[in-house]
Amino acid sequence: MARKPDFLDERLTERRNPRTTDIDVASSEVIVDLMHAEDRRVAAAVYAQRAQIAQAIELATKAIRQGGRLVYVGAGTSGRLGVLDAAECPPTFGTPPEMVVGIIAGGSPALTRSQEGAEDDADAAAADIEQAGVSQRDFVLGTAASGTTPYVSAALERAKALGAAVGLLTCSPAQEGLAAACDVRILVATGPEALTGSTRLKAGTATKLILNTISTGTMLRLGKAYGNLMVDLVAMSDKLVDRGERVVMEATGTNREEARQAIQRAGGRVKLAIVMVLKSVDAEEATRLLADAGGIVRKVVGDPPPVVSP
Protein backbone atom coordinates (compact mmCIF):
# COMPACT_ATOMS: atom_id res chain seq x y z
CA MET A 1 0.00 0.00 0.00
CA ALA A 2 1.33 3.39 -0.98
CA ARG A 3 2.25 5.64 1.93
CA LYS A 4 0.18 8.81 2.26
CA PRO A 5 2.34 11.89 1.66
CA ASP A 6 3.19 13.80 4.84
CA PHE A 7 1.81 17.05 3.44
CA LEU A 8 -1.75 15.71 3.18
CA ASP A 9 -3.87 17.15 6.00
CA GLU A 10 -6.78 15.30 7.60
CA ARG A 11 -8.75 18.55 7.92
CA LEU A 12 -11.20 19.05 5.06
CA THR A 13 -10.60 22.78 5.10
CA GLU A 14 -6.85 22.29 4.51
CA ARG A 15 -7.08 20.02 1.48
CA ARG A 16 -6.44 21.13 -2.11
CA ASN A 17 -9.44 21.61 -4.35
CA PRO A 18 -9.06 19.66 -7.61
CA ARG A 19 -11.51 22.01 -9.35
CA THR A 20 -9.37 25.13 -8.91
CA THR A 21 -5.79 24.00 -9.55
CA ASP A 22 -5.43 26.45 -12.44
CA ILE A 23 -7.02 29.43 -10.72
CA ASP A 24 -3.67 31.23 -10.56
CA VAL A 25 -3.52 31.51 -14.36
CA ALA A 26 -7.23 32.13 -14.90
CA SER A 27 -8.69 35.35 -16.27
CA SER A 28 -10.66 37.59 -13.92
CA GLU A 29 -13.91 36.29 -15.40
CA VAL A 30 -12.90 32.66 -14.94
CA ILE A 31 -11.81 33.37 -11.36
CA VAL A 32 -15.31 34.67 -10.71
CA ASP A 33 -16.81 31.56 -12.31
CA LEU A 34 -14.60 29.20 -10.31
CA MET A 35 -15.30 30.89 -6.99
CA HIS A 36 -19.00 31.18 -7.72
CA ALA A 37 -19.16 27.46 -8.49
CA GLU A 38 -17.62 26.73 -5.08
CA ASP A 39 -19.89 29.20 -3.28
CA ARG A 40 -22.94 27.47 -4.76
CA ARG A 41 -22.03 24.38 -2.75
CA VAL A 42 -22.35 26.23 0.56
CA ALA A 43 -26.13 26.50 0.86
CA ALA A 44 -26.64 22.76 0.40
CA ALA A 45 -23.96 21.98 2.99
CA VAL A 46 -25.65 24.32 5.47
CA TYR A 47 -29.10 22.85 4.82
CA ALA A 48 -27.75 19.35 5.48
CA GLN A 49 -27.26 20.50 9.09
CA ARG A 50 -30.79 21.90 9.49
CA ALA A 51 -31.66 19.67 12.46
CA GLN A 52 -28.52 20.62 14.36
CA ILE A 53 -29.00 24.32 13.60
CA ALA A 54 -32.58 24.10 14.86
CA GLN A 55 -31.29 22.46 18.03
CA ALA A 56 -28.87 25.37 18.52
CA ILE A 57 -31.80 27.79 18.19
CA GLU A 58 -33.67 25.88 20.90
CA LEU A 59 -30.65 25.95 23.22
CA ALA A 60 -30.14 29.68 22.68
CA THR A 61 -33.84 30.40 23.22
CA LYS A 62 -33.87 28.39 26.43
CA ALA A 63 -30.77 30.19 27.69
CA ILE A 64 -32.21 33.64 27.10
CA ARG A 65 -35.61 32.75 28.56
CA GLN A 66 -33.91 31.68 31.78
CA GLY A 67 -31.97 34.94 32.00
CA GLY A 68 -28.85 33.74 30.24
CA ARG A 69 -27.16 34.65 26.97
CA LEU A 70 -26.10 33.39 23.58
CA VAL A 71 -22.29 33.58 23.61
CA TYR A 72 -20.19 33.09 20.48
CA VAL A 73 -16.50 32.26 20.84
CA GLY A 74 -13.99 31.93 18.02
CA ALA A 75 -10.69 32.99 16.51
CA GLY A 76 -9.82 34.74 13.26
CA THR A 77 -12.59 34.91 10.67
CA SER A 78 -14.90 32.70 12.73
CA GLY A 79 -14.44 34.92 15.77
CA ARG A 80 -15.05 38.12 13.81
CA LEU A 81 -18.26 36.70 12.37
CA GLY A 82 -19.49 35.89 15.88
CA VAL A 83 -18.76 39.40 17.12
CA LEU A 84 -20.47 40.84 14.02
CA ASP A 85 -23.61 38.78 14.55
CA ALA A 86 -23.77 39.76 18.22
CA ALA A 87 -23.28 43.45 17.42
CA GLU A 88 -26.18 43.45 14.96
CA CYS A 89 -28.76 42.05 17.39
CA PRO A 90 -29.45 45.24 19.43
CA PRO A 91 -30.43 47.49 16.49
CA THR A 92 -32.33 44.71 14.72
CA PHE A 93 -34.18 43.20 17.65
CA GLY A 94 -33.99 45.81 20.41
CA THR A 95 -32.00 43.47 22.63
CA PRO A 96 -29.62 44.65 25.36
CA PRO A 97 -25.96 44.33 24.24
CA GLU A 98 -25.31 41.67 26.87
CA MET A 99 -27.96 39.25 25.53
CA VAL A 100 -25.88 38.07 22.54
CA VAL A 101 -22.12 38.31 23.08
CA GLY A 102 -19.12 37.65 20.84
CA ILE A 103 -15.73 36.62 22.25
CA ILE A 104 -12.73 36.57 19.91
CA ALA A 105 -9.21 35.30 20.50
CA GLY A 106 -6.93 38.29 20.92
CA GLY A 107 -9.74 40.60 22.04
CA SER A 108 -10.80 43.81 20.31
CA PRO A 109 -7.52 44.32 18.39
CA ALA A 110 -8.23 41.07 16.52
CA LEU A 111 -11.33 42.59 14.95
CA THR A 112 -9.31 44.84 12.66
CA ARG A 113 -5.86 43.27 12.61
CA SER A 114 -5.02 39.58 12.42
CA GLN A 115 -3.80 38.06 15.70
CA GLU A 116 -3.06 34.59 14.38
CA GLY A 117 -1.07 33.39 17.40
CA ALA A 118 -4.03 34.08 19.66
CA GLU A 119 -5.89 31.02 18.38
CA ASP A 120 -3.34 28.77 20.12
CA ASP A 121 -3.68 30.39 23.57
CA ALA A 122 -5.77 27.96 25.60
CA ASP A 123 -5.08 29.76 28.89
CA ALA A 124 -6.41 33.03 27.46
CA ALA A 125 -9.54 31.22 26.27
CA ALA A 126 -10.39 29.95 29.76
CA ALA A 127 -9.69 33.40 31.21
CA ASP A 128 -11.90 35.09 28.58
CA ILE A 129 -14.79 32.76 29.38
CA GLU A 130 -14.46 33.51 33.09
CA GLN A 131 -14.15 37.24 32.50
CA ALA A 132 -17.35 37.12 30.43
CA GLY A 133 -19.12 35.67 33.47
CA VAL A 134 -20.31 32.53 31.69
CA SER A 135 -22.67 30.48 33.87
CA GLN A 136 -25.09 27.56 33.75
CA ARG A 137 -27.76 29.85 32.28
CA ASP A 138 -25.79 30.52 29.06
CA PHE A 139 -25.44 28.77 25.72
CA VAL A 140 -21.89 29.04 24.37
CA LEU A 141 -21.34 28.29 20.68
CA GLY A 142 -17.77 27.81 19.52
CA THR A 143 -16.95 28.50 15.88
CA ALA A 144 -13.84 26.87 14.41
CA ALA A 145 -13.65 26.18 10.68
CA SER A 146 -10.89 23.56 11.03
CA GLY A 147 -12.38 21.95 14.13
CA THR A 148 -8.99 22.01 15.85
CA THR A 149 -8.57 25.58 17.15
CA PRO A 150 -7.05 25.32 20.67
CA TYR A 151 -8.60 28.62 21.81
CA VAL A 152 -12.12 27.43 20.95
CA SER A 153 -11.59 23.98 22.44
CA ALA A 154 -10.35 25.42 25.73
CA ALA A 155 -13.13 28.00 25.84
CA LEU A 156 -15.82 25.35 25.41
CA GLU A 157 -14.21 23.07 27.98
CA ARG A 158 -14.20 25.90 30.53
CA ALA A 159 -17.77 26.91 29.68
CA LYS A 160 -18.89 23.28 30.09
CA ALA A 161 -17.15 23.10 33.47
CA LEU A 162 -19.06 26.22 34.53
CA GLY A 163 -22.34 24.48 33.70
CA ALA A 164 -23.19 26.23 30.43
CA ALA A 165 -24.75 24.45 27.47
CA VAL A 166 -22.16 24.32 24.70
CA GLY A 167 -22.16 23.83 20.95
CA LEU A 168 -19.55 23.65 18.23
CA LEU A 169 -19.76 24.82 14.62
CA THR A 170 -17.03 23.54 12.32
CA CYS A 171 -16.42 22.81 8.65
CA SER A 172 -14.18 19.81 9.36
CA PRO A 173 -14.49 16.98 11.91
CA ALA A 174 -13.44 18.06 15.39
CA GLN A 175 -11.54 16.16 18.07
CA GLU A 176 -13.72 13.31 19.29
CA GLY A 177 -13.55 14.26 22.96
CA LEU A 178 -14.59 17.84 22.29
CA ALA A 179 -17.41 16.89 19.94
CA ALA A 180 -18.77 14.35 22.43
CA ALA A 181 -18.85 16.95 25.20
CA CYS A 182 -21.01 19.35 23.17
CA ASP A 183 -24.78 19.59 23.50
CA VAL A 184 -25.02 20.27 19.77
CA ARG A 185 -22.50 19.69 17.02
CA ILE A 186 -22.84 21.44 13.65
CA LEU A 187 -20.49 20.03 11.02
CA VAL A 188 -21.05 21.85 7.74
CA ALA A 189 -18.97 20.08 5.10
CA THR A 190 -18.09 22.90 2.71
CA GLY A 191 -15.03 21.00 1.46
CA PRO A 192 -11.69 22.34 0.21
CA GLU A 193 -11.51 26.05 -0.49
CA ALA A 194 -10.91 27.58 -3.91
CA LEU A 195 -7.64 28.84 -2.42
CA THR A 196 -6.26 26.06 -0.22
CA GLY A 197 -6.81 26.70 3.49
CA SER A 198 -8.41 30.13 3.04
CA THR A 199 -11.36 29.51 5.35
CA ARG A 200 -12.60 33.08 5.05
CA LEU A 201 -14.14 31.84 1.78
CA LYS A 202 -16.67 28.95 1.80
CA ALA A 203 -16.20 28.15 5.48
CA GLY A 204 -16.66 31.81 6.37
CA THR A 205 -19.76 32.10 4.19
CA ALA A 206 -21.27 28.98 5.78
CA THR A 207 -20.51 30.29 9.26
CA LYS A 208 -22.18 33.62 8.48
CA LEU A 209 -25.28 31.86 7.14
CA ILE A 210 -25.56 29.65 10.19
CA LEU A 211 -25.01 32.42 12.74
CA ASN A 212 -27.61 34.53 10.91
CA THR A 213 -30.06 31.65 11.21
CA ILE A 214 -29.34 30.92 14.86
CA SER A 215 -29.63 34.51 16.10
CA THR A 216 -32.63 35.34 13.90
CA GLY A 217 -34.35 32.06 14.73
CA THR A 218 -33.80 32.66 18.44
CA MET A 219 -35.26 36.15 18.25
CA LEU A 220 -38.25 34.89 16.29
CA ARG A 221 -38.88 32.28 18.99
CA LEU A 222 -38.70 35.06 21.57
CA GLY A 223 -41.42 37.10 19.82
CA LYS A 224 -39.18 39.73 18.24
CA ALA A 225 -41.20 39.79 15.00
CA TYR A 226 -44.80 40.14 13.86
CA GLY A 227 -45.09 37.86 10.87
CA ASN A 228 -41.86 38.71 9.08
CA LEU A 229 -41.84 42.35 10.22
CA MET A 230 -39.11 43.56 12.57
CA VAL A 231 -41.16 45.08 15.36
CA ASP A 232 -38.47 45.34 18.03
CA LEU A 233 -35.96 47.31 15.97
CA VAL A 234 -34.29 50.31 17.57
CA ALA A 235 -34.49 53.49 15.49
CA MET A 236 -30.85 54.55 15.73
CA SER A 237 -30.63 56.15 12.27
CA ASP A 238 -32.84 57.93 9.77
CA LYS A 239 -33.13 54.68 7.82
CA LEU A 240 -34.37 52.79 10.87
CA VAL A 241 -36.77 55.60 11.82
CA ASP A 242 -38.26 55.33 8.35
CA ARG A 243 -38.38 51.53 8.56
CA GLY A 244 -40.15 51.69 11.93
CA GLU A 245 -42.80 54.02 10.57
CA ARG A 246 -43.33 51.83 7.52
CA VAL A 247 -43.66 48.74 9.71
CA VAL A 248 -46.40 50.39 11.76
CA MET A 249 -48.13 51.59 8.59
CA GLU A 250 -48.05 48.14 7.00
CA ALA A 251 -49.11 46.29 10.14
CA THR A 252 -51.99 48.61 11.00
CA GLY A 253 -53.09 50.24 7.73
CA THR A 254 -52.58 53.72 9.16
CA ASN A 255 -50.83 56.62 7.40
CA ARG A 256 -47.29 57.81 8.07
CA GLU A 257 -48.21 60.76 10.30
CA GLU A 258 -50.39 58.60 12.51
CA ALA A 259 -47.69 55.94 12.61
CA ARG A 260 -45.09 58.52 13.62
CA GLN A 261 -47.30 59.87 16.38
CA ALA A 262 -48.07 56.38 17.66
CA ILE A 263 -44.36 55.55 17.84
CA GLN A 264 -43.73 58.78 19.74
CA ARG A 265 -46.49 57.95 22.23
CA ALA A 266 -44.99 54.48 22.55
CA GLY A 267 -41.60 55.93 23.48
CA GLY A 268 -40.05 54.80 20.22
CA ARG A 269 -41.18 51.18 20.55
CA VAL A 270 -42.60 49.96 17.25
CA LYS A 271 -44.15 46.82 18.73
CA LEU A 272 -46.00 48.84 21.33
CA ALA A 273 -47.20 51.33 18.71
CA ILE A 274 -48.75 48.53 16.63
CA VAL A 275 -50.73 47.25 19.59
CA MET A 276 -51.80 50.78 20.54
CA VAL A 277 -53.16 51.47 17.06
CA LEU A 278 -54.84 48.12 16.45
CA LYS A 279 -56.36 47.82 19.92
CA SER A 280 -57.08 51.56 20.33
CA VAL A 281 -55.37 51.64 23.73
CA ASP A 282 -52.74 53.78 25.40
CA ALA A 283 -49.13 52.78 25.99
CA GLU A 284 -49.78 51.48 29.49
CA GLU A 285 -52.59 49.15 28.41
CA ALA A 286 -50.63 48.02 25.35
CA THR A 287 -47.69 47.19 27.59
CA ARG A 288 -49.94 45.08 29.82
CA LEU A 289 -51.45 43.25 26.87
CA LEU A 290 -48.04 42.42 25.46
CA ALA A 291 -46.76 41.27 28.84
CA ASP A 292 -49.71 38.91 29.20
CA ALA A 293 -48.94 37.53 25.73
CA GLY A 294 -45.26 36.99 26.43
CA GLY A 295 -44.32 39.86 24.13
CA ILE A 296 -45.84 38.20 21.06
CA VAL A 297 -47.80 40.72 18.99
CA ARG A 298 -49.79 38.10 17.07
CA LYS A 299 -51.33 36.83 20.32
CA VAL A 300 -52.63 40.32 21.07
CA VAL A 301 -53.84 41.61 17.70
CA GLY A 302 -54.23 38.50 15.53
CA ASP A 303 -52.56 37.60 12.26
CA PRO A 304 -50.56 40.19 10.31
CA PRO A 305 -51.98 41.58 7.07
CA PRO A 306 -51.08 39.87 3.78
CA VAL A 307 -48.12 41.08 1.75
CA VAL A 308 -49.08 43.86 -0.68
CA SER A 309 -47.62 43.32 -4.14
CA PRO A 310 -45.80 46.33 -5.65
The type of residue at 132 is A
Q: Are 290 and 275 in contact (CB under 8 A)?
A: yes
The string of DSSP codes covering 222-244 is TT-EETTEE-S----SHHHHHHH
Q: Are 138 and 164 in contact (CB under 8 A)?
A: yes
d(CA 182, CA 191): 23
Q: In 3-state terms, what secondary structure has residue 142?
A: strand
d(CA 160, CA 181): 8
Residue 257 known to be catalytic: no
User: Which one, of 188, 164, 189, 168, lies nearest residue 177 by Cα?
Assistant: 168
What residues have CB less than 8 Å from 63, skipping those under 6 apart?
A: 69, 70, 137, 138, 139, 165
Task: Report which DSSP code applies to 12.
Answer: G
Helix (H) or strand (E) holding 123: helix 122-131
Q: Considering 119, 157, 245, 250, which one is annotated as catalytic?
A: 119
Residue 119 known to be catalytic: yes
Q: In 3-state terms, what secondary structure has residue 71?
A: strand
Q: Considering 14, 29, 58, 88, which one is annotated as catalytic?
A: 88
d(CA 38, CA 60): 31
Q: In 3-state terms, what secondary structure has residue 167?
A: strand
Active site (catalytic) residues: 88, 119
